[in-house]
Amino acid sequence: MVGVNFVRVFEAEKIIDRYIKALATDGGIVRPLSLLMNSSKQLVLDAYKIYMAYMIKHPILEKEQFKRLMSCLLFLNQFVPDKQAIKINKIYKKQQQNKRITSSEHKYFDDFMKKYVKDQADSFRLHNEVVEYINTLNSLDQDSPYYCITAYRLAGVEYKPEYEFDF
């Protein structure tokens, strides 16, 4: 995924906070995209990168907090269009309650799960992309006047000079 979003550090923190709160909701095996509150999966990914760039320069997260934050990124694929989430979770709930599901529900669920498993591999790829981004930033001079612009460019996120004030 290539970002085209404008994300400031304080916005990134809010986006990640909404994402983690959305992950905490229980409702089935997938979650409706609307829980991200006007954030797309791409915006969450971009927010992670910018927030991590800031955290590298200003290390205030403890190691365990950092690990938990990064592990949450692995669940980004659980957010699907709302109608699909409702339908999948309804079928899943029926299965859990040993209720009868129709053949069309069975096919819909099986087709979704095949795609979902493939999407999970993509979640690992995105997680690794952020880890590689962090490793690259760790190799940079965080005190350099070019750190902020470099972090944005490496993240593929649109940069504006006023973002320097956030860092």
Tens-level pLDDT at each residue, the chain (167 residues): 444 466 889 999 999 999 999 988 877 889 999 998 877 888 999 999 999 999 988 888 788 888 888 999 999 988 999 999 999 999 999 999 999 999 999 999 999 999 888 888 888 888 999 999 999 999 999 999 899 999 999 999 888 888 888 88
Rounded distance between C-alpha atoms, residue 43 and residue 45, angstroms: 5
| pTM of the predicted protein model | 0.83
Of 165, 158, 112, 134, nearest to 6 (Cα)? 158
79 contacts 33 by C-beta, under 8 angstroms = yes
Looking at residue 3, what is its pLDDT?
Answer: 45
- Which structure tokens are listed for 113? 């799960």
